[in-house]
Structure 1
Amino acid sequence: MAGRGRAAASTPRLALRPLRATDLPAVLAIQRAAYGDGYQESAAVLARKLALAPQACWLAHRGDDALGYVFAHPWDGGGAPPLHVALAALPAGADRGFVHDLAVSPAARGLGVAAALFGRVRDWSRAAGHRRLRLVALGDAVPFWTRQGFSALPAELPAAYGDGACLMERVLLERQD
């Protein structure tokens, strides 16, 4: 029994840190493992999101092993940004945050990685003064996002999001007039 305790104590803990451009190869590997080829965005598209909003992108890791990531950025009230397209700029005066992509390595599922990454994005968005947080959930992720307080919005999404994708939003800050 004591031997197992020592081994567990030496296992690095889950940690979050700001995402860096040098993390993009690991991000692309997690993205492919999590989604397959259908939703694979290029390193250039993701690098642009990171360059525009580095304060809203994080990597979950355990020691040197990347476990998951999140890309988020400010957004305005209009729909969802297109997939596979680099954003030219972020909207001025954005009133909400947008979770562009949150993915967890299949080997790390069940470790609380997604909830930890979402918590970091939620805190960033609140601190930025956003009233709401928006995302597009793929069909199998809708239950997770519903548990995080998101509700579906009626919306026509770009075809690249695929069948069953759902625009969702969550209130962060109640309006105080």
Structure 2
Amino acid sequence: MALTWRLMRPDDIDAVVDVARLSFPDHFEDRACFDNRLALYPRGCFVLTEAEGPARGYLIAYPWKADSAPPLNTVIEGLPGEPALIYLHDLALHPEARGGGVTGAIVERLAEQAAGDGWPAVALVAVNDAADFWRRHGFQDRASDALAEKLASYGPDARYMVRPL
């Protein structure tokens, strides 16, 4: 069977944490962060699965402020009162699920959903030398003095990027 994207459910979180641990060893987030994001905005949480098997990848996104990124590995109390865009917090695949071109489908699904909901843009912080990947999906680097210190904590290659919708 082929891997397909579907909305995330609470029983997916253990597998999501496993994928995150493999994908982001230098930026790992606790289970509580994933539970928190799913509870805050389930519409922006997806998993890649084969039938009803465990998650082999995930995408988490939610409404947020422009030129801002929530702190890593932190539970947030709520979404901002006046969000300006959709923030793509995380996209990761299990190493065995990589290379099949499955990420483009979920990035486009998120962009179409966000545009349909009236959001003007999707933003993210690219890490692990992923900026070129995101550029291929319509994201553009955006300099932000307000984010400079926070981006430094993500590593020297971190880039704040925005895709207008």
TM-score normalised by L of structure 2:
0.90
Residue 90 of structure 1, aligned match among 79, 100, 104: 79
Asked if 1:51 corresponds to 2:44, the answer is no
8 Å CA contact retained: 1:33, 1:105: yes
Stretches (4+) displaced over 4 A: none
How far apart are residue 93 of structure 1 and its match? 3.2
In structure 2, relative to structure 1, the CA distance for the partners of 1:65 and 1:49 (3 Å cut) is closer
Counterpart position of 1:25: 14
How far apart are residue 157 of structure 1 and its match? 4.5
Asked if 1:121 corresponds to 2:110, the answer is yes
- Could you give the per-residue CA deviations for residues 121-159 of structure 1, whole angstroms, max 9, x where no partner exists? 112211221101100000411111000011111131524
Give the letter aligned to residue 63 of structure 2. Answer: P
Give the letter aligned to residue 33 of structure 1. Answer: L
8 Å CA contact retained: 2:125, 2:160: yes
* Separation of aligned partners in 1, 2:164 and 2:59: 19
* Separation of aligned partners in 2, 1:60 and 1:90: 25
TM-score normalised by L of structure 1:
0.85
How far apart are residue 163 of structure 1 and its match? 2.0
* TM alignment of 1:15-164, pairs within 5 A: 15-36=4-25, 38-63=26-51, 64-155=53-144, 156-158=148-150, 159-164=152-157
8 Å CA contact retained: 1:75, 1:97: yes
User: Which 5+ residue runs of structure 1 have no aligned equivalent?
Assistant: 1-11, 173-177
* Separation of aligned partners in 2, 1:122 and 1:76: 17
- Could you give the per-residue CA deviations for residues 6-52 of structure 1, whole angstroms, max 9, x where no partner exists? xxxxxx1221111011111100111111122x211011111111101
Greater Rg over alpha carbons, structure = 1
User: Which 5+ residue runs of structure 2 have no aligned equivalent?
Assistant: none
After superposition, the CA RMSD in angstroms is 1.4
* Separation of aligned partners in 1, 2:49 and 2:149: 32
Counterpart position of 1:169: 162
8 Å CA contact retained: 1:150, 1:168: yes
Give the letter aligned to residue 73 of structure 1. Answer: Y
Q: Secondary structure at the match of 2:75?
A: coil
Give the letter aligned to residue 161 of structure 2. Answer: M
* Separation of aligned partners in 2, 1:28 and 1:164: 24
- Could you give the per-residue CA deviations for residues 84-133 of structure 1, whole angstroms, max 9, x where no partner exists? 11111111232210000000111111112211221221122112211011
Q: Secondary structure at the match of 1:140?
A: coil
